[in-house]
Amino acid sequence: MQTQGASNYEATADKKRLKILWIGLGVYFVIMMVALQYATRVPPRFLGLCGLINMSIIICFFVAINKVRRRIRVQGQVESKSVSGSPMKYEGLKKLRWLFFAMTAIGIAYTPSAILTVFSIATSDHRLIIPAAGALVIRLLFIGFFLKIWWETGKKSGTSSSPDSPTAD
């Protein structure tokens, strides 16, 4: 009985942590939008570096949110062992499936142009090679992330396999 109480405490703590992370991301985004008006006063080299730092912070927020959501989901699956079929990983994003496909297609379509821009920036000023290459890597990671979400939401969640039946994995 004591483990169930500890599990409930962890679940509520994780839910609070998730809420705090979402609020933190929202506040950070608002601060970024307020600071955007001062972007014209900042030298372009410093602005590129700040952009990379901002994207890194935002990615850290999303990674932390994903870890907490995964922990909450695992705790929910442990508590309800009698669920038949496997739940889809991105069930909440199923409604936005085609939006992610469109974002992936647009990202792939504009990537050659982005690569040419990176090369022209890198040849004009050698000090911008690392920020431009970093921006290109972040772009490719986001395209891969959107493609993964689109692919995962296309999978059927209600398969005919049950937890008791052997699988062909």
Answer whether 68's CB lies under 8 Å from 17's CB.
Answer: yes
Residues 10, 14: Cα–Cα separation, whole Å: 6
Q: Which two tokens stand for residue 154?
A: 């296309």
* Res 88: pLDDT: 59
Give the single-character DSSP code of 156. -
Average model confidence (pLDDT) across the chain: 77
Mean pLDDT, residues 79-94: 59
Q: How many angstroms from the chain centroid is the CA of residue 160?
A: 30
In 36-128, which ranges are continuous DSSP H helix?
44-79, 97-124
* Res 82: pLDDT: 46
* Res 89: pLDDT: 64
* Res 78: pLDDT: 67
Mean pLDDT, residues 69-86: 68
Residues 154, 23: Cα–Cα separation, whole Å: 30
